[in-house]
Amino acid sequence: MVKFISLSSGSNGNCYYIGSDNVSLLIDLGIGGRTINRRLNAHDISLSKVDMVLVTHEHMDHIRYLGGFTQRYHKVVFVTEALHKVLERHFCTAGKLDGCVKETRPGEVTECMGVKFIPFSVPHDARDTVGYYIDFFGHTFTFVTDVGKVTDDVVKYCRMASHLIVESNYDPGMLVTGPYTPELKKRIAEEHGHLSNEQTADLLRRSCHEGLKSVFLCHLSANNNTPSLAFESARAALNSVGGEEITLYALPRREASPLFIYD
């Protein structure tokens, strides 16, 4: 039995849990430790029992608690070599990761405690942003949480997974007419920014396959999107390629999702 929970998803902070009775991991640590522990405890899970962390990139909404976590629990953290160098200087993590980091390479398989995963490069305005394909004892997940455009690698790893956690950040119309500065709007919409609902819909049409069971829409903008817009766009895309039976869920920003269990 494998459990999946989104503990927070969005520019306010990102953190996701995958675990079983024997092994567990977090993808990113962008919210406070007390909040993470409280949301895990609601499902009788303890943060102290988490075995490893996979980090996507160095933006604050993904690593806010990473240094505090390693100092307190001394668990292994997986990052690419380039990201490791950035984290050694970042004020959240400098001097706090010693003895905890194991470096990975995009496109190569890493195994820890029976969990296999592959980081893969994605375009985003950070030093070395990656998505993750994770084989959790036969249950496969692909995380694409901050990415400016859909690449061949993104499609490849999405087509390999049973469960997708994929960004659907903004509605283009809302972004254009919204309150952000022209510079910030440009950053979001460029190829190293974030995925729009339409780009995510195109990704789902290209990556839908017979083994796909669920899609979780993550990192929705509070100002330039709504859960209903993201959901409707993704649902139409899945339905157009025969994915009517695929579970679709828009992850909440400032609270935990329900617990999803896969046998």
Euclidean distance between CA atoms 69 and 74, whole angstroms = 7
**Helix (H) or strand (E) run with residue 225 in it:** none
Distances (CA, A) of 128 to 26, 189, 194: 19, 19, 15
User: How much is the pLDDT for 127?
Assistant: 85
Q: How confident is the model at residue 171 (pLDDT cuts 50, 70, 90)?
A: very high
Mean pLDDT value across residues 58-73: 96
Q: List CB contacts of 247: < 8 A, sequence separation 6 or more.
A: 213, 214, 215
Beta strands 24-27 and 15-19: pairing type? antiparallel
Q: Is 59 in contact with 103 (CB distance < 8 Å)?
A: no
Burial 128-151 (b: 16+ CB within 10 A, else e): bbbbbbbbbeebbbbbbbbbbbbb
Q: Supply 105's token pair.
A: 């390479």
Classify strands 15-19 and 115-121 as parallel, antiparallel or unpaired.
unpaired
8-state DSSP, 257: P
> pLDDT tens digit string along 102-134?
999 999 999 999 999 999 999 999 989 999 999
Residue 151: predicted pLDDT: 97
Percent of the chain with pLDDT over 90: 98
The residues, any chain, with a CB within 8 Å of residue 37's CB and separated by 6 or more, are 46, 47
pLDDT at position 210 is 95
Contact between 13 and 31 (Cβ < 8 Å)? yes
Q: In DSSP terms, which residues pair with 76 in a beta bridge?
A: 52
**Nearest 10 degrees: CA dihedral of 4, 5, 6, 8?**
-150
CATH of segment(s) 2-262? 3.60.15.10
